């Protein structure tokens, strides 16, 4: 998504500048060409050399340096996207007034590309009607805004917004801005993730090793492609991605109910969860003591959520399932695709190193309804998520 993209990263002078270094680094690592433009105050916080080393490109800091007078027009016109992080109260005020008294504001006034700003300031400054009006004016002019968030400020903890969003959040918003007009822009995507757990008594449960990573990465990637994403998540300790709305569930029956509610409006369902397949016929109302001796359980199968959606899918909805197998994976996956009436099934073999649960990578084969089979190499789960969405998006017509 970032490869070959030209991003101008404007940095104004606030302590959150240090986070902009991570932003520059992550954009560069992702393949973007990053040109950093600093205000004079920003250069007091972080030396230009730091950004030059991180991006491998010269940093613009003045209209009056060699090439500066035309550099702002070149940067403004060549950029695919402009991000200003941090955007201080003063910078926001200058941009809202249409001032162009330094190289960053000149680039912004001459811009053709979409602009994302990440305000960062003292909470009192952010709460002032002047700042509010300036930001409202920029939003009305089509400028996208991420944050600020409540949390620690340089001057101490705060319950009120002021703190700049984290680089990962800014990146997600930036990607979404670039994805405007793409195939998933404005689509409703429902993703399930994680295990579910079935109670035996108030303390004990039956569950499985699913971490939720795959589904969380699919949800994050779909949101970055412009979709409205609902992430239905079983119990997992993962940090939720920025953007998708999350519904937390515990048991397979709860996950089924949530899917049923969300399904009628879904253009794409990605069923990456590993719902518990069995539940105990009896659930004790008190914790059973170990001293009571051996315990026999009778388990019954839970509902097959994917199969149960067959009658209530939106016409044309794209349905993606997963299959984690321990042998004969392709044949078993093909059987599940047909039985559950899927467009795509993502299969992996849990016995292969680097694939399956509790690892950051996956090695998958994706089968489609028409009989196609794509064998993907070992990739991290986010790259697998993107590969799945490339195929799914091509079907969302
Ligand atoms: N799935 C589901 N409901 C369940 C179990 C699984 O919707 N109760 C979904 C999974 O999210 C996945 C797909 O079905 O997308 C295949 O899951 P898997 O556990 O491999 O399939 P099962 O139908 O449980 O097949 P089996 O246990 O026979 O291997």
The Å distance, Cα 287 to ligand 1 centre, comes to 30
With the most atoms of ligand 1 within 8 angstroms of its CB, the residue from 272, 321, 357 to mutate is 321
CATH code, domain carrying 120: 3.40.50.1950
107 and 200 part of one domain:
no
51 and 99 part of one domain:
yes
Q: 77-86, 109-118, 149-158 — which is least confidently predicted?
A: 149-158
| Per-residue model confidence (pLDDT) at position 327 | 82
| Per-residue model confidence (pLDDT) at position 355 | 66
378 and 242 part of one domain:
yes
Task: Determine what percent of the chain is predicted with pLDDT higher than 70.
Answer: 98
Q: How many domains does one find in the chain?
A: 2
Non-local CB neighbours of 104 within 8 Å, separated by 6+ positions: 10, 11, 12, 37, 38, 39, 84, 91
The Å distance, Cα 113 to ligand 1 centre, comes to 44
246 and 368 part of one domain:
yes
206 and 273 part of one domain:
yes
Q: Is the pLDDT of residue 178 over 80?
A: yes
Single pTM value for the model: 0.91
HEC assignment per residue over 282-312:
CCCCCCCCHHHCCCCCCEEECCCHHHHCHHH
Residue 75's pLDDT band, with cuts at 50, 70 and 90, is confident
57 and 124 part of one domain:
yes
CATH code, domain carrying 353: 3.40.50.10300
Residues 26 and 91: their CA atoms lie apart, in Å, by 24
Look at ligand 1, atom 20, and give the residue with the nearest C-alpha.
323
**Do the domain assignments include residue 343?**
yes
With the most atoms of ligand 1 within 8 angstroms of its CB, the residue from 306, 307, 342 to mutate is 306
The mean pLDDT value for 135-145 works out to 97
Pocket of ligand 1 (CB under 6 A): 252, 271, 273, 275, 277, 302, 304-306, 321-324, 336
Range of the domain at 304: 188-284+296-393
Domain boundary among 178, 208, 233: 178
CB-based contact 244:219 (threshold 8 Å):
yes
**208 tagged catalytic:** yes
**Do the domain assignments include residue 385?**
yes
**Do the domain assignments include residue 1?**
no
**Do the domain assignments include residue 289?**
no
| Candidates 122, 134, 208, 362; catalytic one | 208
**Do the domain assignments include residue 192?**
yes
Nearest Cα residue to 216 out of 171, 187, 246, 188: 246
Residue 251's pLDDT band, with cuts at 50, 70 and 90, is very high
| Per-residue model confidence (pLDDT) at position 69 | 66
Residue 161's pLDDT band, with cuts at 50, 70 and 90, is very high
**Do the domain assignments include residue 330?**
yes
Q: 58-67, 215-224, 310-319, 355-364 — which is least confidently predicted?
A: 355-364
257 and 386 part of one domain:
yes
Domain boundary among 111, 146, 178: 178
303 and 218 part of one domain:
yes
147 and 217 part of one domain:
no
CB-based contact 115:87 (threshold 8 Å):
no
**Do the domain assignments include residue 280?**
yes
CB-based contact 89:121 (threshold 8 Å):
yes
Q: Write the CA distances from 98 to 68, 95, 193, 331, 380, integer angstroms.
A: 19, 5, 46, 62, 44
157 and 233 part of one domain:
no
155 and 275 part of one domain:
no
Atom of ligand 1 nearest to the CA of 321: 15
330 and 243 part of one domain:
yes
Residue 99's pLDDT band, with cuts at 50, 70 and 90, is very high
Write phi, then psi, for 348 (nearest 5 degrees). -140, 160
**Do the domain assignments include residue 290?**
no
Mean pLDDT of the chain: 94
The mean pLDDT value for 147-151 works out to 92
The Å distance, Cα 181 to ligand 1 centre, comes to 34
Residue 356's pLDDT band, with cuts at 50, 70 and 90, is low
The mean pLDDT value for 131-157 works out to 92
Domain boundary among 178, 209, 233: 178
């Amino acid at each position: 998504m970032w490869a070959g993209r030209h991003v101008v990263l404007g940095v104004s002078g606030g302590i959150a500048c240090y986070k902009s270094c991570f932003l520059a680094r992550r954009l560069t690592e992702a393949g973007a060409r990053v040109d950093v433009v600093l205000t004079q105050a920003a250069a007091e916080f972080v030396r230009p050399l730091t950004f030059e080393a991180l991006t491998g490109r010269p940093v613009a800091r003045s209209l009056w340096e060699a090439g500066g007078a035309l550099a702002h027009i070149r940067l403004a016109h060549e950029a695919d996207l402009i991000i200003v992080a941090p955007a201080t109260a003063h910078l926001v005020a200058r941009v809202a007034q249409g001032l162009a008294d330094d190289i960053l504001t000149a680039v912004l006034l001459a811009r053709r590309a979409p602009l994302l700003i990440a305000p960062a300031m003292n909470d009192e400054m952010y709460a002032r009607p002047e700042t509010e009006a300036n930001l409202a004016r920029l939003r009305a002019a089509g400028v996208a805004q991420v944050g600020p968030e409540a949390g620690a400020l340089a001057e101490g903890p705060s319950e009120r917004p002021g703190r700049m969003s984290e680089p990962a959040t800014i990146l997600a918003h930036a990607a979404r801005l670039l994805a405007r007009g793409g195939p998933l822009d404005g689509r409703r995507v429902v993703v399930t993730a994680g295990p579910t757990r079935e109670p035996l008594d108030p303390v004990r449960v039956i569950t499985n090793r699913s971490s939720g990573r795959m589904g969380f990465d699919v949800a994050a990637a779909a949101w970055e492609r412009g979709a409205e994403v609902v992430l239905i998540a079983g119990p997992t300790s993962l940090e939720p991605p920025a953007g998708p709305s999350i519904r937390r569930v515990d048991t397979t029956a709860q996950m089924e109910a949530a899917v049923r509610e969300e399904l009628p409006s879904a253009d794409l369902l990605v069923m990456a969860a590993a719902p518990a397949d069995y539940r105990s016929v009896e659930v004790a109302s008190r914790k059973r003591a170990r001293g009571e001796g051996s315990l026999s359980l009778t388990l019954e199968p839970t509902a097959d959520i994917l199969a149960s959606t067959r009658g209530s899918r939106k016409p044309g909805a794209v349905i993606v399932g997963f299959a984690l197998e321990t042998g004969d994976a392709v044949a078993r996956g093909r059987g599940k695709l047909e039985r559950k009436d899927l467009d795509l099934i993502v299969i992996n073999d849990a016995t292969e190193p680097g694939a399956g649960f509790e690892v950051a990578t996956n090695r998958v084969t994706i089968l489609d309804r028409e009989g196609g089979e794509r064998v993907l190499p070992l990739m991290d789960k986010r790259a697998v998520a993107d590969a799945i969405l490339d195929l799914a998006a091509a079907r969302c017509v």
